[in-house]
Chain A
């Protein structure tokens, strides 16, 4: 059903555009998808690091949003932070790394989309 809706919406939109634009879209779209796929593959291997507010915890996350590592500074041992505080700082570090992943993906893929859209609109 979802595929049908997608197809209907697509046909409806395409039929409202002039033939030249329609042709340009059909030619550019596969190239755009291919370029985005390559970028996605690349982004999966990119690693992002997030640090907690107190700077004692660092989380490493890959482009697939998998947490690869969490490193606690040796100072954690000597500090008087509670277990609850510790987990809160871990969350901060992970959130920061996740945010960087999202931002990077969003930025890279949007740049590709912008490039192809500009070819059609111009």
Chain B
């Protein structure tokens, strides 16, 4: 059907004048997501979900000859982020090896971004959300999914979470946890004064279908509850329940609720990376400093080095909001803390936040 490219382009142009979806409810929201206000056709010449709205034929016009520009653009963004982080961030801790251990305690809180479609039934509030999705509620599906507690969800059930707690200890182990070790707290139930060690949770996705090189993995923020009488492990980053709530609220507002969770441009990695960088900001402005703030911020930013480039940096180097957080907002904190020297573009007042 599409052998002749000139006919294809003509057909695509014709199709683009009859946007069926534009006449239907829910379309505007679907179309206006993913940090898209600064998004142009030139930025993603091959693929833009909004091009699909008029019809598949429209894609073809964008496809022919657009591959070089698309790839060059994505590689350049990736390289820019690599360079930026190299200049503006302290080096990550040198990890000797990733030994693993299994958790035996119910002490883990994992908060990540996921589709409401993963909500388990019979979980009160979550059950309501699942019912809404199951009844073809397009508005819910097309909104970015919010960060929520993983223990409420049946997400990628065939693989466990592997958690790396942020620490300056190069011998820090990766902890493997099962759902039974997760705290089933809703966000509002987390006590403000509770103390948590902070880390990142990684869950391989669809490995049974696409093999071990699956590009899909779920990333979430992980928190280990430090009981009242326990002494925190030295070198780990401790945050409070109130700080967790503050960060999640901000991440929801700037990433999850504003961007369509499309797995490639905005995904769980976008939310986790943004959120963890936000922790550095919150710790920096802590009202009652504990004295470990500078060291904690240094550890977080070091860990973000590796995290930002996981999964080919999809959802980070190609997401303006997250890139801005990593290359402008966080370096400012690092400078104010005296961790790194400030480069000229970071200090510039003219630096604009991406519109979301």
Measured CB to CB, the residues of A under 8 A from B are 5-6, 9-10, 13-14, 16-17, 21-22, 25-26, 28-30, 32-33, 36-37, 40-41, 43-44, 50-53, 63-67, 91-96, 98-99, 101-102, 105-107, 109-111, 113-114, 116-118, 120-121
Q: Which of A36, A101, A106, A121 contacts B46 (CB 8 A)?
A: A36
Task: Compute how far the CA of A51 lies from the CA of B135 in the bound complex, rounded to whole angstroms.
Answer: 8
B69: chain A residues at CB < 8 Å are 6, 9-10, 13
- 9 new A-B contacts at CB < 8 Å, known A13-B72, A33-B63, A40-B60: A6-B66, A17-B79, A29-B71, A41-B1, A67-B20, A95-B24, A109-B59, A116-B67, A117-B71
B312 CB–A CB distance under 8 Å: yes
B75: chain A residues at CB < 8 Å are 17, 21, 25, 117, 120-121
Interface string of B31-69 (1 = CB under 8 A from A): 000000000001001110100111111011001111111
B55: chain A residues at CB < 8 Å are 64-66
Q: Which of B2, B64, B67, B215 contacts A114 (CB 8 A)?
A: B215
B25: chain A residues at CB < 8 Å are 91, 95
Interface string of B87-102 (1 = CB under 8 A from A): 0000000000000000
Q: Is the CB of A113 within 8 A of B47?
A: yes
Task: Compute how far the CA of A46 lies from the CA of B69 in the bound complex, rounded to whole angstroms.
Answer: 29
Task: Compute how far the CA of A109 lies from the CA of B67 in the bound complex, rounded to whole angstroms.
Answer: 12
Interface string of B221-254 (1 = CB under 8 A from A): 0000000000000000000000000000000000
Q: Is the CB of A65 within 8 A of B312?
A: no
B346 CB–A CB distance under 8 Å: no
Q: A110-B47, A117-B75 are in contact. Are A10 and B68 (CB under 8 A)?
A: yes
B30 CB–A CB distance under 8 Å: yes
Q: Is the CB of B78 within 8 A of A121?
A: yes
Identify the 3 closest CB pairs spanning chains A and B, nearest first.
A29-B67, A13-B72, A96-B136
Q: Is the CB of B136 within 8 A of A28?
A: no
Q: Which of A14, A26, A40, A94 contacts B59 (CB 8 A)?
A: A40
Q: For the complex, would chain A's binding face be called helix, strand, loop or mixed by DSSP majority?
A: helix
Closest to A16 in B: B76
Task: Compute how far the CA of A106 lies from the CA of B264 in the bound complex, rounded to whole angstroms.
Answer: 9
Q: A33-B64, A107-B263 are in contact. Are A102 and B72 (CB under 8 A)?
A: no
Q: How far is the CB of A111 from chain B (nearest CB, A)?
A: 8
B258 CB–A CB distance under 8 Å: no
Q: Which of B56, B72, B138, B262 contacts A14 (CB 8 A)?
A: B72
Measured CB to CB, the residues of B under 8 A from A are 1-2, 20-21, 24-27, 30, 42, 45-47, 49, 52-57, 59-60, 63-76, 78-79, 135-138, 141-142, 215, 262-264, 312, 314
Q: List 22 A-B contacts (CB under 8 A).
A: A25-B72, A25-B75, A26-B68, A29-B70, A36-B63, A37-B63, A40-B2, A40-B60, A43-B56, A65-B20, A65-B21, A92-B138, A95-B25, A95-B138, A98-B20, A98-B24, A107-B263, A110-B263, A114-B312, A117-B71, A117-B74, A117-B312
Q: How far is the CB of A100 from chain B (nearest CB, A)?
A: 10
A40: chain B residues at CB < 8 Å are 2, 56, 59-60, 63
Q: How far is the CB of A51 from chain B (nearest CB, A)?
A: 6
Q: Which of B20, B72, B141, B314 contacts A99 (CB 8 A)?
A: B141
B263: chain A residues at CB < 8 Å are 107, 110
Q: A5-B42, A13-B76 are in contact. Are A32 and B60 (CB under 8 A)?
A: no
Q: How far is the CB of A71 from chain B (nearest CB, A)?
A: 15
Q: Is the CB of A29 within 8 A of B68?
A: yes
Q: Is the CB of A44 within 8 A of B52?
A: no
Closest to A29 in B: B67
Q: Which of A17, A67, A111 contacts B72 (CB 8 A)?
A: A17
